[in-house]
Amino acid sequence: MLEEYQELLGGFSIGDFFPSMELIHSLAGMNIWILQDMFAAGTDTTFITLDWGMTELVINQKATESAQAEVQSVVGERKFVQETDLPQLQYLKAVIKEIFRLHTPAPVLGPRESMEDITIDGKTRFFVNAWSIGWNPESCVDPESFRPERFLNENSDIDFKGQDFELIPFGAGRRSCPVIAFGNASVELALAQLLHSFNWELPDGIQPKDLDMTEVFAITMHRIANLMVAAKPRFS
Ligand code: HEM
C-alpha cells in the first residue's frame, strides 16, 4: 500500500503535504480546499499550543501537580481520558487559557476593515495583535507570569469565544476561527492525556532558567527551541 502511495505521489513523501493534496482529495472524496484549509489552519495552531503548554508546565511544577491531581480525581485508574471527562477539568481549562494568553498561537489576526469611517494614521486597514492584548497590564495583573489561577479567580468571567476582547486566541467576529470548540477540545484532551499518562521533567542537569523562551513571530508563533523532556510512565 505504501509503495502505491509513493508511486502516486511521484517521489514526494507524505511530509511534502501540498503536492499530495490531489491524492488525498481523491482518497477522501472531499473538497480539496476544505481539507487544505483544515490542515493549514488546524495543525500548527494545535501543536504550538501543546508545545508551549508542556514548556510552561515543566517549568511550573506546582501547576503541573494541580492539573495532574485534578485529572487523576476525574479519570481515576482508567488509562484513557474521555471527552466526557473534560467539563470537570476546570483547572486544566484555566491552564489552557493561560497558555492562549501568554503564547497566543496566531498572534496577529487577519486584516480587518472598519465598518464605520475611521482614521488611524491616515489609513483604515488594520491588524489586531491578539498576543499583545493578552500581555496588557490594564486587563491582566502581572501579565508576564504563568498563573492559571487568574482564570479561576479575578479573571474567571473571561472566555476565549470572541466575546471578551481581553482574550481572543481564536479571533472574534464573523471571521473568527470556525472550530473554536473542536480546536479547544483537541488541546484539552491531548494535554489531559499527557498529564495522566506521564510525569514530565526536564532532562538531568537542565534547569528551567536554561530554557530559551524566545518566541518566533510569524503567522503562528513557535518557541525558538525544541522542547526536550523526560517522560516517566505513571501506569505499568
Ligand atoms: C488551538 C487551536 C486553534 C487556534 C488557536 C486557532 C486560531 C485561529 C485564528 C486566530 C483564526 C483567525 C481569526 C480572526 O482573524 O479573527 C483562525 C481561523 C481559522 N481557523 Fe482556527 N485555530 C485553531 C484550530 C483550528 C482547527 C483545528 C481548524 C480546522 C480543523 C481551524 C480552522 C480555521 C479556519 C478554516 C480559519 C479561517 C476562517 C476564516 O477565514 O473565515 N482552526 N483560527
pLDDT tens readout for residues 119-161: 777 666 778 999 999 999 998 999 999 999 999 999 999 999 9
Closest among 197, 200, 185, 202 to 72, alpha carbons compared:
197
Please give the pLDDT value at position 205.
93
Cα(57) to centroid(ligand 1), Å: 24
Cα(106) to centroid(ligand 1), Å: 9
Q: What would the grid cell of residue 132 be?
A: 499583545
Closest among 50, 69, 56 to 220, alpha carbons compared:
50
Q: What would the grid cell of residue 152 be?
A: 479561576
Residue 43 has pLDDT above 90, yes or no: no
Cα(171) to centroid(ligand 1), Å: 8
Residue nearest to atom 27 of ligand 1 (CA): 42
For the chain, the helix, strand and coil percentages under 3-state DSSP, each to the nearest 5: 45, 10, 45
Ligand 1 in reach of 148 Cβ (< 6 A): no
- Residue ranges of the domains in the chain? 22-233
Ligand 1 in reach of 176 Cβ (< 6 A): yes
C-alpha 166: how far from its chain's center? 17
Cα gap 194→25, rounded to integer Å: 32
How long is the chain?
Answer: 236
Q: Which residues, including other chains, have CB under 8 Å from residue 122's CB and lie 6 or more apart?
A: none
Return the best residue to mutate from 99, 125, 129, 177 for the ligand 1 pocket (most ligand atoms within 8 A of CB).
Answer: 177
Lookup result for grid cell 501568554: 102
Ligand 1 in reach of 228 Cβ (< 6 A): no
Residue 30 has pLDDT above 70, yes or no: no
Return the best residue to mutate from 32, 35, 39, 45 for the ligand 1 pocket (most ligand atoms within 8 A of CB).
Answer: 45
Ligand 1 in reach of 221 Cβ (< 6 A): no
Residue 9 has pLDDT above 60, yes or no: no
- pTM score: 0.86
Please give the pLDDT value at position 71.
98
Closest among 130, 55, 105 to 139, alpha carbons compared:
130
Which residues on neighbouring strands pair with residue 216, listed in sequence order? 222
Ligand 1 in reach of 60 Cβ (< 6 A): no
Query: pLDDT tens digits, residue range 192-233?
Result: 999 999 999 999 999 999 999 999 988 999 999 999 999 999
The DSSP letter of residue 229 is -
Cα(227) to centroid(ligand 1), Å: 24
Which of the four CATH numbers 3.90.1150.10, 3.30.70.20, 1.10.630.10, 3.40.640.10 does domain 22-233 have?
Answer: 1.10.630.10
Say what the ipTM of the complex is. 0.98
CB 39 within 8 Å of CB 17: yes
